[in-house]
Amino acid sequence: MNYARIAGTGSYLPEKILTNADLEQLIDTTADWIVERTGVEERHIAAPDETTCDLAERASRRALDAAGLDPGDIDLIILGTTTPDHIFPSVATQLQHRLGCYGGPAFDVQAVCTGFVYAMDIANRFIRTQAAKRALVVGADTFTRIINWKDRGTCILFGDGAGAVVLEAAEEPGIIDSRLGADGRYKELLWVPAGVSSGYEQTRQDAAFVEMRGSEVFKVAVTTLKEIAEQILIANRMTVADVDWVIPHQANRRILAATAKRLGLPEERMVDCVRTHGNTSAASVPLALDVAVRDGRIQRGDTLLLEGFGGGFTWGAVLAKY
């Protein structure tokens, strides 16, 4: 029982939808410009009283149902987020409380849009070393809460949501390999300048919102997503032809298309939810995974490559048999 397999997936998107036509009323843009440059047509926005933990709980309950498990079966919770309900305690501990499965470790991981992939890598290591048997791994963000709605270069891209996976110990993979990376030199290409320790009132009024140098982020994202896919495949003596589905971070349609092209991957084998989800940060990969599982594209036995990329920069890949 030394591997971790995906026992079930779940996701949740808030009810409210913000369309490109809505954005035309808010900022100087056009729906055509947004679709052409990003592929996003609409995104979901959490209700004012709906928090990251609310989204995480709904996605988690769906993943548990899909796995045929009760919350009490879970002995580890790891949750990727950049938009926790509180500075502390973590969302993971509050999710544990809501599910009523006390005692096992529960903690958040902060790797921005790579948060879920980081969480999967860590949960896999817990299970492989027999420190846990059944892990709930979640990516959840209310990222639109840290968006400056006057900044047309960022507000068009992001949405809210949550995705969850139940990992359980198994005799065969499951997760074949996972790899993480980071390079802190890129901090100011994508960041929120304000913070707990550096102070909220230090600088400008809008310092508590996401700032991004979009075209520079774009270039690093495409290069990195190609490189991490190749590295994990080469390390496991596989090629793109061995992968049934690539589930990348849903940053932007053009990033996905450019990555597929560079990898020599037919775009039909890349799960793309950009049009209706936008970039939901840590939720993006598990959301896309759950969509493709539930619509029947991903079948048991398929080989999956999950890829994350985000602020920091951070990145990671998980290679798995579903």
**Which residues bind to ligand COA, rule: CB under 6 A?**
29, 33-34, 37-38, 113, 152-153, 156, 212, 214-215, 217-218, 221, 251-252, 255, 279, 309-310
In the complex, what is the shortest distance from the CB of residue 8 to ligand COA, in angstroms, rounded to a whole number? 27
CA–CA separation, 159 vs 55, rounded Å? 12
CA–CA separation, 152 vs 40, rounded Å? 14
In the complex, what is the shortest distance from the CB of residue 307 to ligand COA, in angstroms, rounded to a whole number? 11
Residue 236 falls in the annotated catalytic set: no
Q: Nearer to ligand COA by C-beta: 153 or 181?
A: 153
Q: Which residues sit opposite 158 in a β-bridge? A: 279
In the complex, what is the shortest distance from the CB of residue 88 to ligand COA, in angstroms, rounded to a whole number? 25
CA–CA separation, 286 vs 117, rounded Å? 9
CA–CA separation, 216 vs 219, rounded Å? 5
Q: Nearer to ligand COA by C-beta: 221 or 305?
A: 221
In the complex, what is the shortest distance from the CB of residue 257 to ligand COA, in angstroms, rounded to a whole number? 12
Q: Which of 83, 86, 156, 148 is nearest to 115 (CA)?
A: 83
Q: Nearer to ligand COA by C-beta: 205 or 215?
A: 215
Q: Nearer to ligand COA by C-beta: 20 or 51?
A: 20
Residue 249 falls in the annotated catalytic set: yes
Residue tagged active-site, from 20, 124, 252, 279: 279
**Which residue, judged by CB position, is nearest to ligand COA in the bound state?**
214
Q: Which of 103, 70, 105 is nearest to 90 (CA)?
A: 105
* Entry field: residues in the chain: 322
Residue tagged active-site, from 53, 101, 113, 155: 113
Residue tagged active-site, from 124, 249, 273, 277: 249
In the complex, what is the shortest distance from the CB of residue 283 to ligand COA, in angstroms, rounded to a whole number? 12
In the complex, what is the shortest distance from the CB of residue 255 to ligand COA, in angstroms, rounded to a whole number? 6
Q: Nearer to ligand COA by C-beta: 13 or 156?
A: 156
Q: Which of 3, 5, 320 is nearest to 177 (CA)?
A: 320
DSSP 94-134: HHHHHHT--SS-EEEE--GGGHHHHHHHHHHHHHHTTS-SE
Q: Nearer to ligand COA by C-beta: 3 or 209?
A: 209
CA–CA separation, 204 vs 72, rounded Å? 46
Q: Which residue has the tokens 């709605």?
A: 149
Residue 279 falls in the annotated catalytic set: yes
Q: Tell me which DSSP letter residue 322 carries.
A: -
Give Cβ neighbours of residue 267 (< 8 Å, ≥ 6 apart). Answer: 256, 257, 260
Hey, which residues are catalytic here?
A: 113, 249, 279
